[in-house]
Structures are given as C-alpha cells and as structure tokens.
Chains A and B, each alone.
Chain A
C-alpha cells in the first residue's frame, strides 16, 4: 500500500499520469489485437458452419499463438505497472538503479518509440545502488530519458537517434550515464536547470555531470557526503 506520508507533489502526479496513459494505451492495443484474432476465429467458424470452407487447423493454431503472444505482452506490462505503483510504498531505501532504469525503459517504451529514439541499456558490471525514494528515482530517470529524447529531436542531422544508458564501475560512486548519438555538445548548459528538476535531484541526493567522448552525454551521480 502507498505510504500516505509520501504523497507525490504535482510534478510527481504528472509523471504518474504520463506513464499511466502510456501503459493504458499499450493495454488497449493488446486487447484490440486479441479482440481481432478472436473475431477472426469466429469468422472462420461461421464460414465452416455455413459449409463454405473448413477451418484449417494450422490457421487456428496460428491465431491461438497470436492471442497468447498478446496475453504475454499484457502480462509483462501489468507486472511492470504493478511494480511502478508500489514504488510509493516506502520512504528512503536501498534501490538498485539498474532495476529502476529497466522499469522506466519498459513502461515508457511506447513514448520513446514515438520520439523515434532507440534506447539501449548496457548491463551494470558492479552493483549500482543508492539510498532513495523509489518513486522519485524513477521520476528522475524518466526526466533524463525525456530530456535525452528532446535533445535528439532538436539536433539537426540525419544521425540515428540513439541513447545508450550505462552504469558506473565503482559501487561506492553510483551513477547512471546517458550517452547520445548527437555528434554535438551544444545546448547542454541548461540541463536539469529548472526548479522542479533541481528539487527532484536534491530529493534523491544526486547531481548531473557532463559525460561522453565529445561531451555528448550526462550522468546522474550520487552527491558525495549525502545519504
């Protein structure tokens, strides 16, 4: 159950609404595909009843497989959404940052795709944990993904729009890095510069630093000296 002392602020509610809308859109699509395949089976059965064409067992098996695939997609999405919903249950705790990145990537897959952006997550080589409120950390990671998509879409050129997320190699200095295939380092000065973003960074005890070979990326890093 959500902890009533940890009710999200307006920004947090907006984040929750954005991801909920994306998830329900996905669910509607899964249901629509299941609905059409069930309808196709009905059509085939009706044709067979009328003596037109017997139902091909291979065709029926194929349709059944398509329905099962959508049920699996829906089940996966519901599990992710359930974990997201429970992210408000506890105050500060030790949180696996890789797990949180994968959760955001799964929930926001449709949003990222609609930006025409490809997101790759490089597995962490060492444990990457931080003391934080899960919901706030998820919100920050989503803001980083959203910011990455905005930068890529505002960058002229024909480059493939790619974001690669990786993790720091020192477990004592946990960080999440976002490297963008922009080929330019312009427009980074105002990164996470709004009062909302600064407040969010402060709540999860993190700060932003530039990263990448050409300064074409940024990392969310644990702020030293803070729990």
Chain B
C-alpha cells in the first residue's frame, strides 16, 4: 500500500480531481477544504503526507503547517499553491515543509516529492522501531 495523503485546498474541484489521480496510483488520499477541518483530520486520522494550499479562507496554509509541525513533526508537508512568492517558499521550507510547488503542477514532479516524503516517513519509523528495541536504562546485551 502506498502513502496516506491528506490534500487541503479550498478549490474543491482541484483537490477532488487530484485525490482521484493519486488513488489511481495506489495512494490512499483524502481531502479537506479548509484549515480547521484539516487539523481535525490530522488529529483523528493522521496522514503520512500533507499537501496544502497557502491561501485559504479563515486559516491559511502557513498556520496549518506550523500547527501540524508542532503536534505531528513526522508528517511530511508539501506546499502546492497558486499564489506564492520566493519569500513564501523560503518561509515554508524554514518551517519544515519538505517541498514547494506552484500550481499548475506536473504530476510526475509531485509524485516524486510524495515518494521522497514517504521514504523519509518510513525511514523515521524504522529508526523509532529500532530505538524502541533498546532498553531506556541499564546496559544493552546484544
């Protein structure tokens, strides 16, 4: 099974079509149309990859990025925006985004970023699993 992806964008037609294309590539994708719903989805059904727009009514993508990185630092976040400056890109990457794209995006480039993010998640999971095998205190006997 591929990565679990949450897509967040107030343009519903865009997000639903992109979700369908990702599902055709065996990626488990689901959608939210605003920031608060996205945060609720992250709490109840955390994704491995989060793809978010920057400009949304109410809560914008930067606020979602900051909050998710605080509560779920392992989630890989990809920015996909129709209105981003070079400074926005720098800000997002400094806040922990793993990739940044302008709309319209080439699907192959987006898929490559998703796969790279998924590899990071799996690698982090493996490190955590290995770490958990070691005792927290005392000596380690191989």
Give A contacts to B, CB under 8 Å: 21, 24-26, 28-29, 31-37, 39-40, 43, 47, 66, 69-70, 110, 113-116
Contact = CB atoms under 8 A, between A and B. Distances in A.
Contacts of B82: 25-26, 28-29, 32
A155 B107 CA distance: 43
Given A32-B14, A39-B107, A70-B13, A25 B55 contact: yes
Interface in B99-142: 102-105, 107
Contacts of B24: 43, 47
B13 A31 contact: no
Contacts of B40: none
8 contacts: A25-B82, A26-B82, A28-B103, A32-B103, A35-B104, A35-B105, A39-B21, A40-B20
B83 A66 contact: no
Contacts of B20: 40
Contacts of A35: 103-105
Contacts of B55: 25, 110, 114
A37 B11 CA distance: 13
Contacts of B58: 116
Given A29-B14, A39-B21, 5 more contacts: A32-B11, A36-B14, A40-B20, A43-B21, A47-B24
A33 B107 contact: no
Nearest to B16: A36
B73 interface: no
Contacts, number: 57
A24 B103 contact: no
Given A25-B55, A66-B13, A113-B57, A31 B104 contact: yes
B57 A36 contact: no
Nearest to B11: A29
A25 B83 contact: yes
B18 interface: yes
A21 B20 CA distance: 29
Interface string B33-66: 0000000000000000000000111100000000
Top 7 A-B residue pairs of the complex, sorted by shortest distance between their CB atoms:
A28-B82, A35-B104, A32-B103, A25-B83, A36-B17, A32-B104, A33-B14
B21 A24 contact: no
A201 B58 CA distance: 31
B21 A29 contact: no
A162 to B, nearest CB: 15
B13 A28 contact: no
A39 B24 CA distance: 12
A145 to B, nearest CB: 16
A40 B17 contact: yes
A29 B103 contact: yes
Given A24-B83, A25-B55, A25-B82, A33 B11 contact: yes
A70 B18 CA distance: 15
A114 B35 CA distance: 12
Nearest to A22: B83
A119 B122 CA distance: 47
Nearest to B54: A25
A33 B57 contact: no
Contact of B102 (A28, A39, A43, A66): A28
Given A29-B14, A29-B103, A32-B105, A116 B83 contact: no
Given A33-B11, A36-B17, A39-B21, A28 B57 contact: no
